[in-house]
Structure 1
Amino acid sequence: MTRTFVFATDLSADNRAGFARALRLAYAQHAQLDVLHVLDPYLPAHLLQELEQAVNEHIGATLTDIREDYALEAPKAVVQTVIGEPHVEIVRKAHEEQAKLIVLGMHRKRGQPELLAGTTLMRVLRSAPCPVVVVRHVPTQAWQHILIPVDSYLAARQTLIEALNRFPEAKLTLLHAWTLPGEGELGSEVYYAQWREQEVARLREMLSSEITCLVQDRDGVPDIELVLEPGTPCEVVKDYIKCHSPDLVIMGSRGQPYHTSQLTQALLSEPHCDLMLCRAW
């Protein structure tokens, strides 16, 4: 069965980066790309047929234009317009085609987290049956440096597996934000500093052991770096992104599928790189 990726477009100029990344990913991973645009169901019926033809022609021309601009190879692509609620139709398409990936452009209300809640983007993230990539940057090259935030139980296990399977040639950085009790009160004491060093070393050993177990039976394991930094996940991840500029951040959900954590919302509202969200299982 042919692998299928779904790219949903709203036809805006902001979607060009997402369209280009979808083309690159589909070709690199030997997948068919289903390009989907959802028409407003409240438009007059006599306009829909003409509009559907115009949209299909526009998408076809954009596809050709993007391929030429970024020298991209062409995967097998299918263009489709449907009528309905955008997030419902995108998720429906992913289910019907048993899609392995959904690709979306970044939401235009950047820097305004309070406006993200009811967007098509957030609704798709909460309902999608497969990983979702949210694209911020034009894909001048394949993702080379991928950041994966992890917790002390490596809840991003499935996320790491997805990265290993999909991007075997990329450098992977696993980033863990740690905090310890008593830091504020005792952080300057020598005995506390020694205890903190021992605890962080123990945490590193535990995480390293889990990572080794995950990759030990794989051929051609990419470069994997484990980084531990003190602080809250939001602070640590945002600081790391600003200092090291990874191409992609891959997030996993620990509770409900695609639960939009504070960190996820922070990365979507102030995007500095592309983002991929994966189910925890």
Structure 2
Amino acid sequence: MEKSILLLFTLLNLLFVRLDGRSVLMPKFLPAKISSQHTSGQSAELAYNGNTDGHYVDAAQCVLNSGSDTVPWWMLDLLQSYRIAGVNVWNRLDSTDEVRFTQISLGISSDAAAWSSFSENLFKRCFYFTGAPTDATNPISLTCPSPVVGRYLALYKNRTGLTAITQAYFNFCEVDVYVAVPDNEVANAIQPSYSMTSISLIAALTQMRSDIECLLRCSQLTNCLFVLFRTATLECWLFQSTVIPSSFAAVAGNADAKLLALYNN
């Protein structure tokens, strides 16, 4: 039995991942809000859909407020609390309007009231960006000095001293959120509470940006033990077993396929 398991692990390129406190990328397509919209139908989710194009006019993939907000803001609901390490912000690249992204705070909150009605006082500011961004500095990294626990994340602009009329606007094109994962969340071991013979597929996901993002999705489910990820197609399958269904043998046999194991203490 042990020999068979070892052989299976070898054939499927099994990788046990240990993160050692590193930051991992959060999944996309989470609920988002913005203080106002410059154009009707220009939803806040455009800044959290994985598209880093940077062209507001041509691609219509960036967010832009109306220009009338006293404090322009954009908020994201992570659906549960995480130790948030920081964000990368992909700025606008199709004009000189990248300079609008300045005097920006990154705030974290655990208060549900923050999601209902934005208030700076409900967020703990962990970074304040005052630079003059250029195309060469894209994406812009906003990293907290130490991880901050919270469910809600906000970017908000301080307009004080910004006299140019264009500085009333708040625009950017994509946000990547990174959370800090403690050592004991992912390790080179197998969860003992699951059967070695179960072959149930939990979910099939697409547009995963990395194997770590795929693994993070697994960590959010109490019954997920393994993931199968393909780097060529960015597909991710979640399993509650150390043995995957035979129907996935061909997928797992690809050179770009990785089988990753999750372990929770």
Higher RCO (CA < 8 A, seq sep 6+) = 2
Structure ranking higher in strand proportion: 2
More helix by share: 1
Shared fold per TM-score greater than 0.5: no
TM-score, length basis structure 1: 0.27
> What's the TM-score, normalizing by structure 2?
0.28
